[in-house]
Structure 1
Amino acid sequence: MAASTKRRSPLWARICVGVGAVVLLAGGGALVAGQALVAKYTDKVTDESLLAPIVAKPAQAAEAAEVESDIDGAVNILLVGIDPRDEQTAPLADSIVIAHIPRDRHSAYLFSMPRDLRVDIPAFAKSGTGADRTKINAAMAYGSRLGDGKYSAAQGFQLLATTVGTVTGIKKFDAGAIVNFGGFKKIVEAMGGVEMVIDMDVRSEHLKPDGSTRDRIPRCRYDHTSAACMRPYTGPQKMYKKSAEPVRLQAWEALDYVRQRYGEDMTDYDRQRHQQQFIKAMAKQAMSRDVLTSPGTLLDVMDAAGDSLTFAGGGHTIVDWAFELKALNIDDMITVKLPGEGVYDGGYLGERFLPGVDEFFKAVTEDRVAAFLMDHPTYINETN
């Protein structure tokens, strides 16, 4: 896990990489937008407005998650992906990724919480919800309730952060981000797509080869809730073939690929790995392509990030984080797989981690992940 000896990129480009680490789930979109923000935003973010859209106007600031920052030490950043939601629909945390960045700032470790991880969700006074034991992706929905049939993803983030912290032992997240998958597609389009290795054959559950939505089974055309229609599609499927070399994915392909979890020999753990791989691929692409030097592309990415990304800096601005993480080397980013299994009791109840994962979490809180992975190499994704 030694730091890379490769020649570093210019400082201003590495600043962008640092920003990308903060908002990794949006990958290259926020990474590139961060460079322009260095010149645009210099004010400190208050605790009352942490979760403001990344390029939002002050009036658009949302209520914050309760996060504190200790930029002097190792940092842990919570990254959450949600489907497009309006204020009348409760948001679900479909993707939960944690970025652990050691004190030396030379590397980053990405690991995921399974969306179906069975956990204890605590009571939350702001939303008026009681304690429950259920799947972790429900925590954001529970915490988002405002009353009068309205919901706030930013408020839901607070309960999700508390729940994830209880599982991992991370008492406070130093920063956080929410990415809306609809806007995420715009970020990838602005980046010109993404190049990444496809590490297994994947069939799309949702799309045809031309990118259009698959047809629904006749009995499920108007049934969107019953168990019999949980997988309601039929007909031709978009196929992503295993590749030894990186292949270019268009924006709709990238979004589709990283969301797949059904198929032969495929589980949600594969989906988690693909999302982590995508994050790394987008960050590397932003370093190697001409995006950083193209004003038009840069502005397009900024606009896309503003529509899709909500960022909490723990009392620090994007600018602060950019300079703090300027030495981060994307080539040294490690994606981590946490072993788990299904829980059954008369039916599927969710997922649980296998013995040993608690030791990994302890290593995270003690900033000794590199040493843990040297002793437990099976935790490292082979496709790093």
Structure 2
Amino acid sequence: MQRSRKTRAPLWAKLTATLGGFLMVTSGGLLVTKEVVFARISAVEDSGLIVGDNLPGEAKSEIKGPVNVLLVGIDPRDDVTPPLADSILVAHIPASMDQAYIFSLPRDLYVDIPANAKSQYAGGRGKINGAMSLGSRVPGGKPSVTQGFQHLAKTVTQVTGVQTFDAGAIVNFGGFKSIVEAMGGVTMTIDQEIRSEHLKPNGKPRDRRPECADHGCEHPYIGEQKVYKKGTYHLKAYEALDVVRQRYSLKNGDYDRQKNQQRFVRAIAEQALSKDVVTNPAKLLKVLDAAGESLTFSGGGNTIVDWAVAMRNVDPKNMITISLPGGRFDINGRYVGEQFTGPVDDFFTALAEERVPQFLMDNPTFVGTN
């Protein structure tokens, strides 16, 4: 999919709403007003990710809660390989529009994947991260990331019961690195020792096993590993992205990786709206430009400025991350993916009925650590 400058997500739009009035900052002879930032985002067009069954009947003049946003992280190798959804997050904003609940779906969750006429997929069972790839295929042409996102949205609807996604975004992890670089790194808490599968202690890529050069291996790398100790650190961009990609060295594998990704989202949101960014003209505009290169956003019929205004009371510090319990799923003694365990269906029911706070009080283990 050819992507243009129409790709910034509500987080970056919210920067304009939080500035309030004119932002008059002088730094090195550069004068920046609110209009400068506004101009960077006001011309953003909807990317069309949210369509069909996941689009309300008509665009709303005012965004009112509750709303649900689907966030998908991809790590594309090229523009001819169908993309896999490496990370799948849902943000739920209740009717009060002053809170946000974020939960993740395991990339290996074994689910029913619906048929897709456009991609000529007949439907079946498989890991949920493959839904985007299966839906993105264009017979005789290059994969359509937008089409894949729409198919993934339908699959997530089947799993969670969330009937409508009011907005959506795709994050290109490779490009997302530039956002963190523009902010000068990100402060993040690490709750357990993490050994990098991909990097050496000096940050360079680890060597690959010769036998893994031409075909996949579960652990293709050898040699020393970069280690992240438990604690709170200000990470460089490449370190932060390395942390959120790791799962093999974590106690609970992909479930702990989901928690790290949720912490990362919250840390990015807090730092993007901090004084260190919004009062630094050069840094602010670099962040906005980097976001434009890394994110594809769709507002479900509302403009990005509409979303900025609607989300103005959602403080990143009040984001509540939710951990959905799960474990391995076997068929005839063979591992095929992951499945939810415990009262996850009850959580989805509470989500639909706007009872999330009460559910979390009754099930405190679902509340993630920050």
Contact 1:120 1:132 in 2 (8 A): yes
- Alpha-carbon distance, 1:45 to partner: 5.2
Indicate if the aligned counterparts of 2:75 and 2:86 stay in contact, CA closer than 8 A: yes
- The residue correspondences of 1:81-96 to structure 2 (distance < 5 A) are 81-96=73-88
Instruction: Work out whether 1:354 is the aligned partner of 2:341.
Output: yes
Q: Contact 1:144 / 1:152 at 8 angstroms: preserved in 2? A: yes
Q: Is 1:132 matched with 2:124?
A: yes
Range that drifts further, 112-121 or 298-307: 298-307
Within the candidate set 215, 221, 225, 1:237 is matched to 225
2 CA distance for matches of 1:180 and 1:214? 22
Task: Give the 3-state SS of the residue equivalent to 2:169 in structure 1.
Answer: strand
Post-superposition offset of 1:152: 1.1
What is the Cα deviation at residue 115 of structure 1?
A: 0.2
- The answer as to whether partners of 1:65 and 1:158 remain within 8 angstroms in 2 is no
- Is residue 174 of structure 2 the alignment partner of residue 182 of structure 1? yes
Query: What amino acid does structure 2 have at the position aligned with 1:251?
Result: A
Q: Which residue of 2 is the match for residue 9 of structure 1?
A: none
Aligned residue pairs: how many? 339
In structure 2, the residue matched to 1:291 is 277
SS at match of 2:347: helix
Displaced runs of 4+ in structure 1, greater than 6 A?
A: none
Cα pair distance change 1:311/1:35, threshold 3 Å: farther
Structure 2 residue runs without a partner (length 5+): 1-13, 20-33
Task: Please report how far the alpha carbon of residue 172 of structure 1 lies from its aligned counterpart in structure 2 after TM superposition.
Answer: 1.0
Contact 1:44 1:316 in 2 (8 A): no
Q: 1:87–1:151: 8 Å Cα contact kept in structure 2?
A: yes
Alignment partners' CA distance in 1, 2:283 and 2:44: 27
Asked if 1:249 is matched to 2:235, the reply is: yes
1:347 deviates by 2.2
What CA distance in whole angstroms lies between the structure 1 residues aligned with 2:290 and 2:134?
28
Does the 8 Å contact 1:204/1:239 carry over to 2? Answer: yes
Structure 1 unaligned spans of 5+: 1-11, 18-33, 53-62
> In the alignment, which residue of structure 1 is the partner of 2:215?
224
Evaluate the alpha carbon distance shift between residue 35 and residue 120 of structure 1 in structure 2; reply closer, same or farther with a 3 A threshold. farther
Q: Secondary structure at 2:138's aligned position in 1? A: strand
The match for 1:375 among 349, 362, 365 is: 362
CA change 1:42–1:217 in 2 (3 A) is closer
Counterpart check, 1:173 vs 2:161: no
SS in 2 for 1:352: strand
Distance 1:35 1:250, change over 3 A: farther
Matched, 1:314 2:300: yes
Q: SS at the partner of 2:118?
A: coil
* Residue equivalent to 2:311: 325
Give SS of 2:154's match. Answer: helix
Contact persistence 2:37–2:285 (CA under 8 A): no
Contact 2:322 2:367 in 1 (8 A): yes
Using the alignment, how far apart are the partners of 2:53 and 2:143 within structure 1? 15
Aligned residue type for 2:67: V
Residues 134-173 of structure 1 mapped to structure 2, 5 A cutoff: 134-173=126-165
1:208 aligns with 2:200: yes
Q: 1:344, CA displacement in angstroms? A: 1.6
Aligned position for 1:199: 191
Q: Are positions 1:38 and 2:38 aligned together?
A: yes
CA contact (8 A) 1:261 1:270 kept: yes
For the aligned residues, what is the CA RMSD? 2.4
Residue 375 and residue 335 in structure 1: after superposition, are their counterparts in 2 closer, same or farther (change >3 A)?
same
Question: What residue identity is the alignment partner of 1:174?
Answer: D
* 8 Å CA contact 1:79, 1:98 repeated in 2: yes
- Distance (whole Å) between structure 2 residues aligned to residue 75 and residue 299 of structure 1: 28
Residue 273 of structure 1: SS of its match in structure 2?
A: helix
Give me the whole-angstrom Cα distance separating, in 2, the residues matched to 1:157 and 1:297.
Answer: 31
Deviations 1:56-104 (A, max 9, x none): xxxxxxx999433762220110000000243311000000000011111
Select the residue among 40, 48, 55 that pairs with 1:50: 48
Which residue, 336, 339, 349 being the options, matches 2:322?
336
Larger mean Cα displacement after TM superposition, 356-365 or 288-297: 288-297
AA of the residue aligned to 1:302: L
Cα offset, 1:118, TM superposition: 0.4
Tell me the CA shift for residue 155 of structure 1: 0.8
Q: Does 1:268 align with 2:254?
A: yes
**Which of 15, 37, 40 is residue 17 of structure 2 equivalent to?**
15
Per the alignment, in what secondary structure is the counterpart of residue 197 of structure 1?
strand
Asked whether the 8 Å contact 1:196–1:248 carries over to 2, the reply is yes
- Give, in whole Å, the separation in 2 of the partners of 1:41 and 1:161: 25
Contact 2:166 2:299 in 1 (8 A): yes
Give the CA deviation at 1:266. Answer: 3.8
Mapped partners of 2:121, 2:314: distance in 1: 40
